Amino acid sequence: MRKKRILDLRSDTITTPDKKMVEITSFGTMGDEFYDEASCTTSLENYCAEMFGKEKGLFLPSGMMANLVAAKAYTNEGDSILTHSDYYINYFQSKPLIKYCGINICTVNDNKANNGLLDLSLVSENINTHRCYQLSSEIKTIWIENTINSLSGKIYPINDVKKLYKLCKSKNIPLHIDGARILNACVAKDVSQKEYGKNCDSLSFSFSKGLSAPFGSVLVGNKDFIKKAKLHKKEFGGGLHQSDVISSMCFYALKNNIKHLKDDNKKALKIAEILQEIKEFKIIISNIETNIIMLDLKELNVDSTKFNDMLSKNNILLYPWNKYVSRIVTSSKVEMNEAIFAAEQIVKLAKSLRNKVLK
């Protein structure tokens, strides 16, 4: 009997290289990246820098390391970065930032708007407050996320980025974009990579999510910034050796798979449309801009781990974002018809749970 296919909607990191990506893997030069002798990796770094209109790029094993390296390149021990409380850097990486970088995270959360964007007045207020005393931790960089993971992959609109960057320049503080999925934003809003690049000082994005490479991220910025970042990359154990084996796959993914991100965004929208039937999920269609959906499970009186376990019996996998929220992420690993089937099964399960709550 044929085994039923698993529909993995936990993340787009579960994507894997296709046959063509594997076939193009470079075993030719096999230069050592640690000694700046990996020609494909260097070409990839330069290509990514050019994509976003920056001077230099730096290939890194992961997005988490890219975040650590970028933060450390901008700061000294005791300094602060200013970000939103809901962003990945605070939600998932606050401990290593403190432990390995000695950096304080100053968070802003505009509860009135609740839109995931940094309120300019609050940014100014925090910068001024942190500079008021000689022993205060000084804010050395402003940090935003695009797309915003915790808010169903919300796009940080380019016009808002421009306003924030203008403020950052007036305060002489660099702006960094954690753009793990920024290419999903670019295809969704038809905004060029260079448009985002020219409105920040540095930016990172991932090859291992919707682009389907095995692993890797890139950090782009000016030469001095990348020089510092490269030193910290080695400091954190990220100095690679025969990196062309992976960077060649990343190069292929970048040149061939961006066009697939539009399909991933469409799948998420279709799932959201079906899930709207369950009012307890509190899904607002206009908020689904890219490939992420957050399911609110509180009104169904079930925690995310239990909900996901029940779904897994039908071979559908979701990620437990927090106690009462499950995350759905679409990717090339799940086709449109499979995404629809998964959504219908989620609705079916939610209805059964709703009946239990009503009883």
Q: Please tell me what DSSP assigns to residue 133.
A: S
DSSP 8-state class, residue 299: G
Q: What is the pLDDT of residue 2?
A: 42
Residue spans of the chain under pLDDT 50: 1-2
Per-residue pLDDT tens digits for 245-297? 999 999 999 999 999 999 999 999 999 999 999 999 999 999 999 999 999 99
Q: Amino acid letter at 2?
A: R
d(C-alpha 248, C-alpha 213), whole Å: 9
In the DSSP assignment, the letter for residue 279 is: G
Nearest Cα to 217, choosing from 229, 199, 235?
229
pLDDT at 102: 93
| Span 142-151, pLDDT tens digits | 999 999 999 9
Contact assessment for residue 248 and residue 24, using Cβ atoms and an 8 Å cutoff: yes
57 near 48, Cβ under 8 Å?
Answer: yes
Q: What is the pLDDT of residue 1?
A: 36
pTM of the predicted model as reported, rounded to 2 decimal places: 0.94
How far is Cα 199 from Cα 221, in angstroms, rounded to an integer? 11
Q: Determine the pLDDT at residue 358.
A: 56
For the chain, give the number of residues: 359
With residues binned 3-state (H G I as helix, E B as strand, rest as coil), the percentages for the chain, rounded to 5, are 50, 15, 35
Cβ distance 311 to 297 under 8 Å? no
Q: Is the peptide bond before 147 cis (omega within 30 degrees of 0)?
A: yes
CA 217 – CA 207 distance, rounded (Å): 6
Please give the full DSSP string across 165-215, using - where no structure is assigned: HHHHHHHT--EEEE-TTHHHHHHHHT--HHHHHTTSSEEEEESSSTT--SS
The pair of structure tokens assigned to 238 is 């990220």
CA 89 – CA 94 distance, rounded (Å): 6
Cβ(158)–Cβ(196) under 8 Å?
yes
In the chain, what are the domains?
19-256 (3.40.640.10), 260-358 (3.90.1150.10)
Q: In what order do the strands lie in the sheet with 104-108?
A: 56-60, 217-221, 202-206, 175-178, 139-145, 80-84, 104-108
Characterize 275-295 residue by residue with b for buried, 16 or more Cβ atoms within 10 angstroms of its Cβ, and e for exposed: bbebebbebeeeebbbbbbbb
With contact defined as beta carbons under 8 Å apart, do 312 and 339 qualify?
no
